Amino acid sequence: MTENTLLTREDRADGLSTLTLNRPDQFNSLSQALLAELQAAFDAIAADPAVRVVVIAGAGRAFCAGHDLKEMQANRDKAFMRALFRQCSKLMTTITQLPQPVIARVHGIATAAGCQLVSMCDLAVAADGARFATSGINVGLFCATPAVGLSRNVGRKQALEMLLTGEFIDAATAQRQGLINRVVPLADLDAEVERLAQSIINKSPVAVAMGKSMFYKQLEMGVEAAYQLASETMACNMMSEDAAEGIDAFTSKRKPEWRGR
């Protein structure tokens, strides 16, 4: 385990890495320093083939309350604001570009950039008491950057309702609208995250990494270009050692032994 003031990283031998936001008294708000530590952690994980799945969690009573408004208010300079939001946007895109799937473990609240963080994770599991909002509008600030991830997860009208009203939605609604994958009682949250993570860890790391990359790229393409990319990805995937091993294991009725990415 590695730990510092703002972020805890715990790596397991089976390939699960857990990053825990560690500003519980501030509801894990995303200060510049915390964003920097998250970026450094993801950069290191991207180059580490031993890590198979990443979980993002929050210490204390909440997942993440968004940007640190006190820090922003203390630095009312446009250059500071541009740097802050570029830093946050880089982190969010890093998550989708990471070879490993990222799971958000959500409890308490996930608001504004915290809701954005959930939306940009590949998967999300939430406690049944979790609540989600893009609440910047309540303080005169439209959640423009959270809107990017939110609008790519839920329908337009649902996204705009959240963005324009700042009202909370509960975990059941978030699941129904597509923001999260699973909802369980808080007591079962860790076990459900574990089940989801293990179901991915058991798969070929080559196929997972190639598939995740293809998935996000094809979302921004037209249908014809998307199929061209998907066809090329499948052809390359079929030439991998893992595909040969997986098919051989399937036909031989044994467990595959993945070579790694």
Q: Where are the alpha helices (DSSP H) in 68-204?
A: 69-74, 78-97, 113-120, 144-150, 156-165, 171-177, 189-201
pLDDT at 242 over 80: yes
Quick count: other Cβ atoms within 10 Å of Cβ 137? 17
| Averaged pLDDT, 145-171 | 97
Element (H, E) at 19: strand 16-21
Q: Are 57 and 102 in contact (CB under 8 A)?
A: no
Distance CA 89, CA 80 (A): 14
Rg of the chain, C-alpha, whole Å: 19
Distance CA 12, CA 83 (A): 34
Q: The sheet that has 131-133: what strands, in order across it?
A: 109-111, 131-133, 169-170
Domains 2-201 and 205-252 share a fold: no
Instruction: Write down the pLDDT at residue 243.
Output: 82
Provide, rounded to the nearest whole percent, the portion of the chain with pLDDT above 90: 87
Joined together, the tokens standing for residue 258 give 């993945």
Q: Where are the domains of the chain?
A: 2-201, 205-252
DSSP state of 129: T
CATH number for the segment(s) 205-252: 1.10.12.10
| Averaged pLDDT, 47-62 | 97
Instruction: Write down the pLDDT at residue 259.
Output: 82
Instruction: Write down the pLDDT at residue 4.
Output: 56
Per the listing, tokens 């510092």 go with 4
What superfamily would CATH give domain 2-201?
A: 2-enoyl-CoA Hydratase; Chain A, domain 1 (3.90.226.10)
DSSP, collapsed to helix, strand or coil, labels residue 204 as: coil
Angle at CA of residue 155, ends 95 and 149, nearest 5°: 20
| Averaged pLDDT, 24-53 | 97
Q: Tell me how far the alpha carbon of residue 223 is from its chain's centroid.
A: 26
Q: Give strand pairing partners of 205.
A: none
DSSP state of 135: G
Per-residue confidence band for 5, with pLDDT thresholds at 50, 70 and 90: confident
pLDDT (tens digit per residue) in 163-186: 999 999 999 999 999 999 999 999
Question: Mean of the per-residue pLDDT values for the chain?
Answer: 94
Instruction: Write down the pLDDT at residue 162.
Output: 98
pLDDT (tens digit per residue) in 19-37: 999 999 999 999 999 999 9
Instruction: Write down the pLDDT at residue 25.
Output: 95
Does the CA dihedral 44-49-55-60 come out positive or negative? negative
pLDDT (tens digit per residue) in 94-128: 999 999 999 999 999 999 999 999 999 999 999 99
pLDDT (tens digit per residue) in 62-98: 999 999 999 989 998 999 999 999 999 999 999 999 9
Angle at CA of residue 9, ends 6 and 11, nearest 5°: 175
Does the CA dihedral 72-75-77-79 come out positive or negative? negative
